[in-house]
Amino acid sequence: MPTPTGTTRTRTRVPLAVHVLGLSVFALGTSEFMLSGILPQIAEDMDVTIPQAGLLISAFAIGMVVGAPLLAVATLRLPRRTTLIALLAVFGLGQVMGALAPNYALLFVSRVLSALACAGFWAVGAAVAVAMVPVTARARALAIMIGGLSIANVLGVPAGAFLGEHLGWRSAFWAVAAASAIALVGVVALIPPLPRPAERPRIAQEVRIYRDRQVWLAIVMVAFAAGGVFCAFSYFSPLLTEVAGVEEGWVPTVLALFGIGALTGTAIGGRFADAHLFGVLLSGLAGSTVVLVALALLGRYAAVAIVLSFLLGVTCFSTAPALNARLFNVAAAAPTLAGATTTAAFNLGNTGGPWVGGTVIDAGFGYASTAWAGAALTATAIVVTAVSLRLHRRTGTAPVSRVVAGPGTGTGSDVPAKPVRTDV
């Protein structure tokens, strides 16, 4: 934002509404990630194997992949505030359905329903958050929303594991339903009505972004980065107890350490990603790969596994703001589909990661093999990032002359043309 002297401020205040969205994401993130701490209990109660129970994580991710673009388009003409309220309400009902599910099939359906609502909230909420800040603060605004996921890992996931151990896994679903109700009150009270855009978004024009190879490189980059982490994280509970020999009562504490690492990584990534996007991406992905390899080799030692759990949270979440910002930057011409594409890309990885992890477990390689498979996926993400960087350097960075408004927000505003900083 230009100052009276013509210089550029290095820091821009992020609106309170963005923080409210981050708090709402806490409930969504807890539901998305908490199964990693209660898979054994669900498997035993539903009389399925742990890999089959792990498919519930993939079910949620599939719902996110499908739901993000569909709901972004379906809610295009609806007021943004009304859309966020409706999606949070449906999400809460999905949690109640899961808590009451009498069998695996209905639990599976409840996960897909919850994911559809979660996807819509992410797509709309991320577009609104990006529209509220200048282009040079996108990663920071998105880091606040991602911070909700980090806090979910610090508090929500360990709490879910604790409830699952002492009160049964269904109590974790009831707790998330209560958290989503509180988030709903926050959105109703603090998110203001948002005006419609002066110019109606045109989906037919926005889909043209998919002709850009940088958009596809960003999608693949995100999918492999997320898939690598969730390949291992989805099976953390049995990995800790069966391989590292950690007592079951300590699993929530270890998951909390992962969450603290995630919160730390998000803060680091959000601080530097706007100025050094590719540098954050490459260093974070390399760090995740090293940590996963170390977990595969040394995960049988409880103390080492615990430390590596924290470090994995730091490295994988340090890239999250940059991954989000990269897709918003290359898909800036598609205000409706940018957030949906980002959500879908992350959840392609969240779908494939648990599936790959379950496949190697079923093949008889053991729980530690999920870390090897995850490292292979994050290493692939490094290669894709390097290709994207090389193409970026060859073609240069086009100036962004406008902060693109989210679908139906009308909050975009003209700003002086400035290049999107993506220095290494």
**CA 177 from centre of chain:** 20
Q: Are 158 and 256 in contact (CB under 8 A)?
A: yes
Q: What share of the chain is helix, strand, coil (3-state, %, to 5)?
A: 75, 5, 20
What digits encode the pLDDT tens for the residues 189-198? Answer: 777 776 665 5
pLDDT reported for residue 201: 62
Q: Quote the pLDDT of residue 83.
A: 86
Tokens read off for 168 = 């049964």
Distances (CA, A) of 125 to 42, 177, 348, 391: 31, 20, 19, 30
Residue 23: which residues within 8 A CB-CB, separation 6 or more? 148, 183, 186
Q: Which residues contact 63 (CB under 8 A, 6 or more apart)?
A: 111, 112, 113, 114, 115, 116, 118, 119
- On whether the pTM is more than 0.85, the answer is no
Token pair of 233, please? 């994280």
CA–CA separation, 161 vs 142, rounded Å?
A: 27
Domains defined along the chain, listed by start: 16-195+203-398 (1.20.1250.20)
- What is the distance between the alpha carbons of residues 157 and 324, in angstroms, rounded to a whole number? 23
- Please tell me whether residue 372 adopts helix, strand or coil conformation: helix
Does 3 have pLDDT greater than 50?
Answer: no
Distance between CA atoms of residues 389 and 282, nearest Å: 10
Residue pLDDT, tens place only, 79-129: 778 888 899 999 999 999 999 999 999 999 999 899 889 888 887 777 777
Contact (Cβ atoms closer than 8 angstroms) between residue 320 and residue 310:
no
pLDDT at 157 over 80: no
Write out pLDDT tens, residues 22-40.
Answer: 878 888 888 877 887 788 8
Going by pLDDT thresholds of 50, 70 and 90, the confidence category of residue 384 is: very high
Best CA proximity match to 91, nearest among 9, 171, 214, 176: 176
